[in-house]
Amino acid sequence: MDAAIASIVFSVLALGILSYTIKLANKYWFRPKQVEKRLRDIGFGGNPYRIIFGDAKDVEGMRAEVTSKPMELSDDVASRILPYHNHLVQKYARIGIMDPALVKEILSRPNDFRKPSKDQMAEVLVGGLFTSEGNVWAKHKKVLNPSFHIEKIKNMVPSIVDSCTEMMNKWNVSLDAKESVEVDMWPEVEALTFNIMCNTLVVGRSIEETQKIYKLRVKVNQQAAKLAKLMIFPGWWNLPTKELKILKEAHREIGILIKQGVTKRLEAMKNGASNPGDMLGLMLEAYQDETSGFTLEDVIEECRSFHFIGPESTARSLVWVLYVLSHYPEWQEKAREEILQVFGDQKPNVEGLSQLKIVTMIVYEVLRLYPPTSMVHRSISKDTKLGDMVLPGWVQITIPITLMNHDPDIWGEDVKQFKPERFAEGVFNSKMQSIFLAFAGGPRKCIGQSMAMVTDKFVIATILQRYILELSPSYLHAPKHSFLLIPQHGMKLVVRKRV
């Protein structure tokens, strides 16, 4: 009897192990090889499939090589920002996902071409609306959209200008004693855009609370950058590293602080306090409406998300605008002349915003050359028609925005040159509308794009009214893709008071 039971147990275990082995083999070998064959049959080139790690080691190796030293002062940055993807395009020629018509189709069909499965780092750094899908995404977007209507954004302008003035007051302390001062604009604009976000989307938070969250967010970003090399390893999130421990603890503390702020505002609203109509207030109204399905956890998650993606994406566009203004003094002077013509020495205001044509052209051209998001990913779970072809299920699609923005077949032979005049007719009144992807596109385009543009233009106007910017001799040109596009060695500029 014992032998028979042992035989049965052994058989069950053997069948279980065999079944699991078959599933693993199918997941990591047979299905990927079938997908590879089908992609080659419809004309796609590329490297042969490599199990588990794929091209991750090559990607990281090329990234490490290009970031090991700065580059010359040039706007031809695509091969540095996306070195591996640029290598593939050079090797296999343009690929389907760089075709503007196909990209437009992918981004306009979010139910067919969905965001890839969530990963832990994306959840920590962003989460919320950015990573949600389907009905959850639609519910959250419906609640958040009113926060970014143009009338709401107009009300943010005084806070934007005041935050910028506070930053410049620190520069003036140094400029009172000398003619010029070197300023690393990267940490300056990071702190600036974070303060703007806190003062406009989440009204009423104390300076102390804002600073606590900002310092923790900086800590999260620093540890995330250190962990980038580990992400090619399966299960990396559970590795017992010092960096992961620090990141998870900082993430937890941010959650506690945000929850405290949300709870405090909710109690005040229940006790009759007026709703300032900011993003937090609108979310709490939705939470109190039982038919909305918006939970308190949703409120906290979105607050956490916008503490990262809101100021981060705006800071990354703004810092490169300041770079090109310093690198191209003739365009800085054109922008300044326009700003002074519209506002004089008065604080920039909403009424003059639409008159800043040159400033708008400069911002759009910077977003083309230095897009905050270097690439967008989508995936399909079943065979899906795209254009004239049928893509096999389980394919992840990468749209390399930076490569598209530097593609002469799309933008012309002057694609590598800084030429704001290409946007003289505006981005939505020109042939570029369907290929300008600085804010992605389709239903899932960046919800805060209008706020980002307004912030960029008003900060530029406020600075150029008062100062002349120059590249510092110590500046090292090193754009780096790190979730979003950053200046690897900072953005050191020389600031002089305008006479």
Question: In terms of DSSP bridges, do strands 180-184 and 484-487 run parallel, antiparallel, or are they unpaired?
Answer: unpaired
> What is the three-class DSSP state of 480?
strand
- Sign of CA pseudo-dihedral 365, 366, 367, 373: positive
Tokens 């600085």 belong to which residue? 438
Q: Copy the structure tokens of residue 28.
A: 């990591």
Q: Are 495 and 171 contacting, i.e. CB atoms less than 8 angstroms apart?
A: yes
Q: Give the pair of three-digit tokens for residue 6.
A: 């042992």
β-bridge pairing 396-399 and 376-379:
antiparallel
Q: Phi and psi dihedrals of 179, rounded to 5?
A: -70, -35
Distance CA 125, CA 118 (A): 12
Angle between the 449-466 and 150-175 helix axes, to the nearest 10 degrees?
30
In the chain the first and final C-alpha atoms are separated, in Å, by: 100
Evaluate whether 380 touches 397 at the Cβ level (below 8 Å).
yes
> Is 316 exposed, middle or buried (CB count within 10 Å of its CB: 0-12, 13-18, 19+)?
buried
Q: Residue 468 pairs with which residues in a beta bridge?
A: 496
Q: Per the annotation, does 446 bind a ligand?
A: yes
Q: What is the DSSP letter of 448?
A: T
Strands 384-386 and 180-184: what pairing?
A: unpaired
Binding residues for heme: 446
Binding residues: 446
